[in-house]
Amino acid sequence: MARILRTSLDPRHGPGISRARRPRQWQNPPVTLRLGVLEGDGIGPEIVPAAIAAADAALRRANTAVQWVPLPVGLAAIAAHGSALPPSTVEALQTLDGWVMGPHDNASYPPAHRATLNPSGALRKHFDLYANIRPARTFRNVPATVRAADLVIVRENTEGFYADRNTFAGTGEFMPTADVAITMGVFTRGRIERIAHAAFQLAGRRRRHVTIVHKANVLAATAFFRDICREAGERYPGIALDDVHVDAMAAHLVRRPADFDVIVTENMFGDILSDLAGELTGSLGLAASLNASDRTAMAQAAHGSAPDIAGQGIANPSAMILSTAMLLEWLAARHDDARLADAASRLAAAVDRTLGLEIFPRDLGGAVTTAAFTRAVIAQIFPE
């Protein structure tokens, strides 16, 4: 079974609730779910359809299906609806069980649209997608800077040092004069507690080790984050707990990533460290990600829109496919659906096997196109 089944937030275990690991006794009949498809910008219209095609194959193999609902977002939505994130898209998402989100390229938006919150940030904020789960691991035969890694960065996704998510309206950045720029970092007990519990619950399904990343020697707010995570850890006596300064963690990821299991940290630290971990383990093209609340989830690769290669058919769809597998696993847990769990496992395992055969897109040193890689993944789902 693919290791993806040890990376996703389990929606059955709400924040602040410590429960023993629930056995996977999938008793309920399969449900038909409706999932949004938001292709986004840049390479999004190439890698998102690839992920949907591969997911459909895995769902068929597991004898189930979902209904995909295409929705406008990004530059195409600006052209058609006058907004990068039309209200109709947000309204539709409220009726769906989750969605797959492609990357955005808000730097290329017209000036008026660049001044607003980007589509991804807006959705994370609107739906309170507080847990950003970002696994990083080495793959068999994939060239990597580090020899072995299998860790998950659990990133608090709604506040911290990212100013677009730490105020009720607008952003936490302002300029009192033309020569002074001020940005706020906001940390609140309730939001720290829920991400801490998510991290400990995830560690309970993995190797039972949590590392808190902070900068308490300089930034008092991150000492607050560390201390509340420690308090949460008291409810999980079987899980080892330590903490590391963020700068030291960057060095540790390079030197000894195999020593870490689940890393929990604030928003900006988690974003930076997960990008580093993705590159160290092979490429950001392999960096999967899930954004989740207790009610819904968004699959979104950790990498950007790569406008320099957009439209060339050479983008690596692995991260988007693996993110979609994480979404299927999250939905399987939420709905006690064995078929969805089977599809998630088959989808992740197919990517593993394809990479193990050294079928590599260009970011991994190969020459395989997006379409050819997707066909290879589907062939692993339906082997002859």
pLDDT tens string 285-307 = 999 999 999 999 999 999 999 99
Q: Does the structure show a pLDDT above 60 at 197?
A: yes
Task: For residues 46 and 40, give the distance between their C-alpha atoms in angstroms, rounded to a whole number.
Answer: 10
Per-residue pLDDT tens digits for 71-98: 999 999 999 999 999 999 999 999 999 9
The answer to whether residue 4 scores a pLDDT higher than 60 is: no
Cα–Cα distance, 105 to 90 (Å, whole number) = 19
Q: Return mean pLDDT, the chain.
A: 91
How far, CA to CA in Å, does 193 sit from each of 132, 158, 232, 263?
Answer: 15, 13, 7, 15
pLDDT band for position 27 (cuts 50, 70, 90): very low
Q: If we measure between CA atoms, which residue out of 285, 359, 279, 354 comes closest to residue 316?
A: 285
Q: What is the pLDDT of residue 174?
A: 77
| Active site residues per annotation | 162, 215, 247, 271, 275
CA 353/CA 139 separation, integer angstroms: 9
Give the residue from 287, 260, 277, 296 showing the smallest Cα distance to 363: 287
Higher-pLDDT residue of 273, 112:
273
The answer to whether residue 204 scores a pLDDT higher than 70 is yes
- pLDDT reported for residue 2: 43
pTM of the model: 0.91
Percent of the chain at pLDDT > 90 equals 80
Which pLDDT score is estimated for 14? 52
Tell me: pLDDT of 37 over 60: yes
pLDDT of residue 173: 75
User: How confident is the model over 345-367, as a mean pLDDT?
Assistant: 97
Using one digit for the tens of pLDDT, what is the confidence trace for 116-128? Answer: 888 998 999 899 9
Residues in the chain: 384
For residue 8, pLDDT over 80 is answered with no
Domains of the chain: residue spans and CATH: 1-21+30-127+287-384 (3.40.718.10), 145-280 (3.40.718.10)
Mean pLDDT comparison of 30-34, 119-123, 183-187, 190-194, highest-scoring range:
190-194
381/384 Cα distance (integer angstroms):
10
Please say if the pLDDT value at position 3 is more than 70: no
pLDDT tens-place string over residues 144-165? 999 999 999 999 999 988 766 5
Please state whether beta strands 209-214 and 240-245 pair in parallel, antiparallel, or not at all (unpaired).
parallel
For position 234, what pLDDT does the model report?
A: 97
